[in-house]
């Protein structure tokens, strides 16, 4: 079965994480994504550790299934070539600072004048205009600015960043959704359009009920750590071998929990009669529950609670996650052959569909300039011009892969 985006050509002019994550989603879905990296050293993310035998794990995390082209962005002929490639692509994705693409002659309006069916996606830090439009787009800055950090963390610790670059990742996902919507629209009317999002907008868009609390009630939520803001007991509890998430969200679940933990008096205790009382005495209740949970392991209690219809689950570290039979069953890790590292494991696209029955990881993240000649040939450049571009160091071909197909 053909992949959903097979035959769609994407010119990826992004770097770091938000843009590459967007284009990786498109590549996973079958688009031909050409990752253009500035020569002579490539995407800045290649220098970020930790490293697997000299290769950045950060880079490996967001660039699979792409073709790699190295190009000198500062060379006048390089910009001319980039424009040619953009006009021969279906989709262009960039995450430069606002105004940069226009200065290079690669802004949406300029390209769309020649290619009106072009879909063009731009990811910025704080938007393309406005009082903060020129601020650089760094994830933790956006996490704080968006309010997300203000509702994350413990009351004692204060605001805390999310453990992954959530602003970069979500802006990449929003951009990919926008690109897909624009592509569907193009099938209807033949016209392209510009898709824009930002780290700030992406995170504000995730505020969900916390945002609605303020909009509807003018409540300013505070970080509550691992407890639920309106349900008790609900949150993190310690067992004999580590923490467990427990979520008996209804009165019936609470009663079943008391039965399981052999707490016959708790349902009749005035402090715990209903959720309202339990909220008022949640600290005492937590201590009582943990006095029983510490008698056995996370997985023991998880199985016992699930059997009784009480939502629960262990809090795993990443070694636990990748050894877990359910994660393995969901095929969340796939392998690819890397030119230097050999077989590497990669996180899979978390979407199941018939077209992806064979998996989503088809090729490893490319070396810098791994496919330069191959890409330029596919775009229709004659061999003599490709040779001249390489000789003049306008483009860069990785020598170890000069004749290696994808």
Active site residues: 168
Cβ neighbours of 382 (radius 10 Å) = 10
Determine the distance from the C-alpha atom of residue 84 to the mean position of all C-alpha atoms in its chain, rounded to a whole number: 30
Nearest Cα to Cα of residue 35 among 94, 119, 81, 121: 94
Structure tokens at 303: 């199985």
CB 314 within 8 A of CB 302: yes
Cα–Cα distance measured from residue 367 to residue 293, given in angstroms and rounded to the nearest whole number: 50
- Asked, as a colleague might, if the bond just before 233 is cis with ω within 30 of 0, I would say yes
CA distances from 111 to 102, 108, 164 (A): 10, 5, 35
Strands 9-13 and 91-94, bridge-based pairing = parallel
The span from the CA of 232 to the CA of 406, in Å, is 54
Both tokens of 166, joined, read 């959530």
CA–CA dist 112, 375 (Å, integer): 22
- As a whole number of angstroms, the distance between CA 249 and CA 257 comes to 11
Rounded distance between C-alpha atoms, residue 71 and residue 373, angstroms: 11
Owner of token pair 């002659």: 105
Helix %, strand %, coil % of the chain (to 5): 40, 15, 45
Q: Which of 363, 336, 359 is nearest to 348 (CA)?
A: 359
By the 8 A CB rule, do 204 and 211 touch?
yes
Look up residue 350 and give its DSSP letter.
S
Q: How far apart are CA 151 and CA 226, in angstroms?
A: 11
Task: Indicate the burial class of 349 (C-beta count within 10 angstroms; 0-12, 13-18, 19 or more).
Answer: buried
Q: For residues 263, 267, 269 and 270, what is the CA-based torsion angle, rounded to 10 degrees?
A: 160
């Amino acid at each position: 079965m053909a992949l959903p985006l097979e035959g769609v050509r994407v010119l990826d002019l992004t770097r770091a994480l938000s843009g590459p994550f967007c284009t990786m989603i498109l590549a996973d879905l079958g688009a031909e994504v050409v990752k253009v990296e500035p020569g002579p050293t490539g995407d800045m993310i290649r220098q970020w550790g930790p490293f697997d035998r000299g290769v950045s794990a950060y880079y490996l995390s967001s660039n699979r299934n792409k073709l790699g082209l190295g190009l000198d962005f500062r060379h006048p002929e390089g910009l001319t070539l980039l424009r040619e490639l953009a006009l021969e692509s279906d989709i262009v994705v960039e995450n430069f600072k606002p105004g940069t693409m226009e200065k290079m002659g690669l802004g949406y309006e300029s390209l769309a004048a020649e290619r009106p069916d072009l879909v063009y996606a731009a990811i910025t830090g704080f938007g393309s205009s406005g009082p903060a439009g020129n601020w650089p787009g760094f994830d933790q800055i956006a996490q704080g600015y968006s309010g997300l950090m203000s509702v994350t963390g413990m009351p004692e610790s204060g605001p805390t960043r999310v453990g992954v670059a959530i602003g970069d990742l979500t802006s990449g996902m929003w951009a990919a959704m926008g690109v897909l919507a624009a592509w569907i629209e193009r099938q209807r009317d033949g016209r392209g359009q510009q898709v824009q999002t930002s780290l700030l907008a992406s995170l504000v868009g995730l505020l969900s009920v916390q945002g609605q609390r303020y909009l509807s009630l003018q409540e300013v939520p505070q970080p509550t750590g691992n407890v639920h803001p309106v349900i008790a007991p609900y949150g993190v509890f310690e067992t004999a071998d580590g923490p467990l998430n427990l979520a008996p969200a209804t009165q019936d679940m609470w009663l079943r929990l008391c039965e399981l933990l052999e707490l016959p008096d708790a349902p009749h205790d005035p402090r715990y009669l209903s959720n309202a009382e339990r909220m008022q005495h949640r600290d005492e209740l937590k201590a009582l529950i943990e006095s029983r949970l510490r008698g056995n392991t996370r997985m023991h209690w998880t199985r016992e609670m699930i059997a009784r219809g009480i939502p629960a689950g262990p809090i795993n570290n990443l070694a636990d996650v990748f050894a877990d039979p359910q994660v393995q069953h969901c095929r969340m890790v796939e392998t690819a052959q890397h030119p230097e590292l050999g077989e590497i494991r990669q996180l899979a696209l978390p979407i199941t569909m018939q077209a992806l029955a064979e998996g989503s990881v088809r090729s490893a993240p490319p070396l810098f300039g791994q496919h330069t000649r191959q890409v330029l040939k596919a775009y229709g450049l004659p061999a003599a011009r490709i040779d001249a571009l390489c000789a003049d160091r306008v483009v860069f071909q990785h020598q170890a892969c000069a004749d290696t197909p994808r």
